[in-house]
Amino acid sequence: MTTTATQHAFLAELGITAENSGAYNGAWMNCTGELLESRSPATGELIATIRQATATEYDAVVEAAQADFLRWRAIPAPARGEIVRKMGNAIRDKKDALGRLIALEMGKILQEGLGEVQEAIDISDFAVGLSRQLYGLTMPSERPGHAMREQWHPLGVVGCVTAFNFPMAVWAWNGMLAYVCGDAMLWKPSSQTPLCAIGMTNVVRPILEAEGFGALAGLVVGPGRAVGQRMLEDPKLPLISFTGSTNIGRSVAATVSPRFGRTILELGGNNAVVVMKDADIDMAIPAIVFGAVGTAGQRCTSTRRVLVHEDIADDLCERLLKAYSQVKIGNPMDDATLCGPLISRSAVDEMLESIEEVKRAGGTILCGGGVATMEGDEAGGNFVLPTIARVENEWDVVQRETFAPLLYIITVKDIDDAIAKHNDVPQGLSSSIFTMNIRDAERFISGVGSDCGIANVNIGTSGAEIGGAFGGEKETGGGRESGSDAWKVYMRRQTNTVNWSDELPLAQGIKFG
């Protein structure tokens, strides 16, 4: 295959060439690691190569980030917000190119790629406002002539390990908040989408470089066994934000915790849509289809299960099959495409194995069930047929997350049965219910309903807005990113007591000496 780096104008626009460096510490470094190839999951075509970072280059990136952090933390937060505003505008100016890069390298359809870049823009805007709202509290002191308050201070260099499925937005969720909080960033992207990280870094680094803070946008592309493990063990990184599988997340937590580091863990999801018999089916169908088929089922919030009332299950399945028959599979750059490729051949194999396991357990495949036959350039792509299967909730295969467009239909008897089955999986990220019954709706999002970090009513499981805190419970990890008060994890809390009296009373009325 020939390199396509010169065949797409948007790659040149983002500073991506046939050969690229995998480390940035205020300047692109001459890396000495192994060569990494980036290939299109839609065609198998070589896009470009990246010379990966080694432990030596990693150390240089961290050292530069730490040095810039020590100066950056002294900049007033609103002034940091002004620089983040400029970064957001730079991303806005390159939205089309960045969205196309996501579609090319990750395989997400162009509309979703553009939507992901918009998330990065939105969180930048959110962070600008946040830079004037890093509030602490004032508390009444029990001692006369004393004042108590708390302040939030910058934390340090934040390590951010991102997954292939959101190769830009998750960095922005972390990075823009970290920057206004006064932190530096060290980004290790997925080895499956390194060009997305290089492209985004090239967009934002000129803004930081102009201010003398280029190393705040540290980047290392390298293997997990070398660079990744070094990050987890590095005491200079007080916070590690990790997005990926539950199994690797366990290892991340086990490695970071002994050095008393913090973690944000965004791990697996097994997200369900509950459809009660009084639901608006016309609304439920497109929500389910987008949740299950969008990003080829490779979102952590993708809809994996539909828990439908037994009285309407057959009708729902019939409508879903009609909708699935209209899903166009193909090149993600094509505006008509609704389902692009899976990220790799191993992802295809995992889906096929799950389908076989469903069959062995006695499940019924309603549609799909195999590899999609493609023609032309896409013949070498990782395309599968979006699949629907009727199953039982307790089966092992249903209890696991299969990162692909594989949707399980499970019947329920009533709201009690729906909530019990919904919660009876190890994961706890996103959930939703379709119902016109306010009692069922409120119960589902109450403390006795969904056990997920996200619970929706009459919308799907996928497509969270940046204003709310994003994350889940149980094997999803328990971390929170993006909106609400998620910023607090990027800072350290300090309690202050000021004595403005001319006496020295002790707390709790203690008399001493």
Tell me the pLDDT of the chain (513 aa) as tens digits. 344 555 689 999 999 999 999 999 999 999 999 999 999 999 999 999 999 999 999 999 999 999 999 999 999 999 999 999 999 999 999 999 999 999 999 999 999 999 999 999 999 999 999 999 999 999 999 999 999 999 999 999 999 999 999 999 999 999 999 999 999 999 999 999 999 999 999 999 999 999 999 999 999 999 988 899 999 999 999 999 999 999 999 999 999 999 999 999 999 999 999 999 999 999 999 999 999 999 999 999 999 999 999 999 999 999 999 999 999 999 999 999 999 999 999 999 999 999 999 999 999 999 999 999 999 999 999 999 999 999 999 999 999 999 999 999 999 999 999 999 999 999 999 999 999 999 999 999 999 999 999 999 999 999 889 999 999 999 999 999 999 999 999 999 999 999 999 999 999 999 997
CB-based contacts of 349: which residues, under 8 Å, 6+ apart? none
C-alpha span between 141 and 139 (Å, rounded): 6
Q: Which amino acid is at 270?
A: N
C-alpha span between 415 and 277 (Å, rounded): 10
Q: What is the DSSP string of 312-364?
A: THHHHHHHHHHHHTTPPBS-TTSTT-SB---S-HHHHHHHHHHHHHHHHHT-E
CB-based contacts of 372: which residues, under 8 Å, 6+ apart? 329, 383, 384, 385
C-alpha span between 507 and 226 (Å, rounded): 50
Retrieve residue 188's tokens: 């290790």
Active site residues: 266, 300
Q: Are residues 358 and 388 in contact, defined by beta-carbon separation less than 8 angstroms? A: no
How many other CB atoms are found less than 10 A from the CB of residue 395? 17
What are φ and ψ of residue 345, in 5° steps? -65, -35
Retrieve residue 287's tokens: 């929500």
Tell me how many helices (H) and strands (E) the chain has: 15, 23
